[in-house]
Amino acid sequence: MMSSTSFSQEKIFLPPPKKSKFSLDEALDVRKSIRDYPSLPLTLEGVSNLLWAGYGKNRWGRKTVPSAGALYPIFLYIVVGEVEGLDKGIYLYNSGEHTLTKLSSEDTRFQLARASLNQRWVKTAPLLIIISADFSITTSHYGKRGVRYVWMEIGYVSQNIYLEATALKLATVAVGAFYDEEVKEILNIKKEPLLIMPVGRPKEGRW
Ligand SMILES: Cc1cc2nc3c(=O)[nH]c(=O)nc-3n(C[C@H](O)[C@H](O)[C@H](O)COP(=O)(O)O)c2cc1C
């Protein structure tokens, strides 16, 4: 039997997302931002579901979010602190393949928290999802108007991650307050970081 994590050409194949029975209305009803995460690891299955919900492919071969002109300018990076079956480090999500590419073995949560005005939850979360974009993908087609399209698309992705985290009984918050250039330098990326979403388990009894 193949293990849930298998390596080939530096790619990590994520387990297929499990479709839960948690209803959309229930998720909308109980969602909230949560910033306190006890020091407990996430599962690889949880990471798989969160990334799939944020920017994965659905049964029609479409993504889980709309995109102006179907241009798809968003890129999801993750910083792994404590995830069962995944080494610490920085990874890029390849949404078409539902795989991760490892970019670095560095646990950069502490530096990212400093670049985020010392927001504690950026340091303590076992996982950070960095929603970033290449604006030129959309502006080369739509000109200046493409900028607003990219901002809108970030919102769809973030809300999907919020709702999926809720359905998985995990906790998250959208963090928009950070120094862009510092975050790019820490992650060694050229894409524009627009939101950092720390994810953890909620404190017992929170939900
Ligand atoms: C664009 C955006 C940026 C945000 N930035 C931060 C942030 O830097 N730090 C933080 O703790 N929360 C941040 N939040 C979360 C809001 O504070 C939170 O959504 C708001 O207080 C409402 O609470 P709720 O999400 O629990 O309904 C941000 C939310 C949005 C939509």
Report the candidate in 202, 180, 198, 38 with the shortest Cα–Cα distance to residue 110. Answer: 198
**Element housing 130 (H / E):** strand 127-133
Q: What is the mean pLDDT of residues 175-187?
A: 98
Position 2 pLDDT exceeds 60: no
pTM of the model: 0.94
- The preferred substitution site among 120, 173, 178, 199 for testing ligand 1, maximizing ligand atoms within 8 Å of CB, is 173
CA angle, corner 22, sides to 39 and 74, nearest 5?
A: 70
- Closest Cα to atom 30, ligand 1: which residue? 174
Distance of alpha carbon 1 from alpha carbon 102, whole angstroms: 24
Asked, for residue 207, whether it belongs to a domain, the answer is no
Which atom, in ligand 1's list, is nearest to the CA of 177? 8
CA 172 to centroid of ligand 1, rounded, Å = 10
Of all atoms in ligand 1, which is nearest to the CA of residue 116? 8
Structure tokens of 64?
């889980």
pLDDT (tens digit per residue) in 3-38? 344 444 479 999 999 999 999 999 999 999 999 999
Per the structure, the count of domains in the chain is: 1
User: What number is the average pLDDT over the span 156-182?
Assistant: 98
Helix axes 135-142, 145-167, angle to 10 degrees: 140
Helix runs in 12-132, H state only: 24-30, 44-55, 109-115, 120-124
The answer to whether residue 142 sits within a structural domain is: yes
**CATH code (residue 119):** 3.40.109.10
For residue 11, tell me if it sits in a domain: no
Residue 101 lies inside a defined structural domain of this protein: yes
Is 116 a domain residue? yes
Token digits of residue 146: 């493409």
Beta carbons of 78 and 87 less than 8 angstroms apart: no
Instruction: Compute the distance between CA of residue 170 and CA of residue 102 in angstroms, rounded to an integer.
Output: 24
Q: Please give the share of the chain, as a percent, with pLDDT higher than 90.
A: 92
Q: Which of 134, 132, 125, 133 is nearest to 165 (CA)?
A: 125
Lowest mean pLDDT among 4-13, 132-141, 174-183: 4-13
Q: In this structure, is residue 143 part of a structural domain?
A: yes
Q: Is the pLDDT of residue 129 over 70?
A: yes
Over the chain, what is the mean pLDDT? Answer: 94
What's the pLDDT score for residue 54?
Answer: 98
173 CA distance to ligand 1 middle (Å): 6
Q: How far is the CA of 141 from the centre of ligand 1 (A)?
A: 31
Number of CB atoms found within 10 A of residue 151's CB: 12
Q: What's the one-letter identity of residue 89?
A: G
Please say if the pLDDT value at position 81 is more than 90. Answer: yes
- Interior CA angle at 154 toward 184 and 122, to 5°? 50
Q: Which atom of ligand 1 is nearest to the CA of 35?
A: 11
Q: Are 148 and 171 in contact (CB under 8 A)?
A: no
127, part of any domain = yes
Q: Number of helices (H) and strands (E) in the chain: give both, helices first.
A: 7, 8
What mean pLDDT do residues 59-70 have?
97
Range of the domain at 117: 21-200
Domain-embedded: residue 158: yes
Q: What is the pLDDT of residue 206?
A: 62
Per the model's pLDDT, the better-predicted residue between 167 and 6 turns out to be 167
